[in-house]
Amino acid sequence: MLFRLFQPTMIAGMLFATTAFAAAIGPDVFINPIVVTYDGLGLNNGGNPTPLVIAGDTYTTNDSQLNYAAFGFCSFWGGNECIGDNTEFGYIDIVLGSPALRVGVNVGASTSTVSFYDQTDQLLGSLPGPHNGLHLSFVGWQADGGLIGRVRVADTEANSQMVLLDDLTKETTTPEPATATLVALALGISAARRLMSICAR
């Protein structure tokens, strides 16, 4: 019944739209990603004071302490070291050295919320971080007509676990029109698949 509301022309319009929009994205949407890993930073396991600058981005926490973890499950991209918060219901803020069109980070362990802010510190959107125990999953956002200036990962669960972050991924340049069309196509296909999944229920 719901599927009848979306005629083929509407679906085609979604697939080939090239206007910018704000939305959750996966790692496959990035065209020219800059990936910041936390491998080999030489930090202590705990008690690293913030603010801390890593690859031009400034990291702060609610208690001015950042944890460093070296676990085999840490990385989405293949490394094995990550960072974490230090307190229950704490947070890690990442102020980007260069504002970005798209930003994502791998999060896991404690349940979290990942929030994305523009250059004037206005909230663009928030997404739940998955609680995958010893696994990390990608959470990303694309800005609508502006740029992302800050990301906050907040620990939302009292469970004696850190929120772990790894491999901050960002894209600081706007793709060329042809590339933007391909990105819109990929996002449109993803949206159409979600819609069909909902309609099939």
**146 band by pLDDT with thresholds 50, 70 and 90:** confident
**To the nearest 10°, the Cα dihedral for 188, 189, 194, 199?**
100
Overall number of domains in the chain: 1
Q: Is 15 helix (H, G, I), strand (E, B) or coil?
A: helix
| 14 occurs within a structural domain | no
**The predicted structure's pLDDT at residue 153:** 95
Asked if pLDDT for residue 75 goes beyond 90, the answer is no
**105 band by pLDDT with thresholds 50, 70 and 90:** very high
Mean pLDDT, rounded, of the chain: 78
| 194 occurs within a structural domain | no
Q: How far is CA 158 from CA 45, 46, 74, 99, in A?
A: 21, 19, 21, 32
Mean pLDDT of 180-194: 58
Q: Nearest CA to 70 among 46, 94, 48?
A: 46
Q: End-to-end distance of the chain based on CA atoms, in angstroms?
A: 11
Asked if pLDDT for residue 197 goes beyond 60, the answer is no
| Amino acid at residue number 16 | F
Asked if pLDDT for residue 11 goes beyond 60, the answer is no
| 4 occurs within a structural domain | no
Angle at 56 (CA atoms; ends 50, 60), nearest 5 degrees:
20
| 6 occurs within a structural domain | no
Asked if pLDDT for residue 182 goes beyond 60, the answer is no
| 9 occurs within a structural domain | no
**The predicted structure's pLDDT at residue 7:** 36
How far, in Å, CA of 159 to CA of 155, rounded?
10
Q: Nearest CA to 120 among 104, 143, 141?
A: 143
Residue 46 lies in domain: 20-184
| 42 occurs within a structural domain | yes
CATH number at residue 82: 2.60.120.430
**The predicted structure's pLDDT at residue 5:** 35
| 191 occurs within a structural domain | no
| 15 occurs within a structural domain | no
Q: Nearest CA to 101 among 118, 114, 85?
A: 118
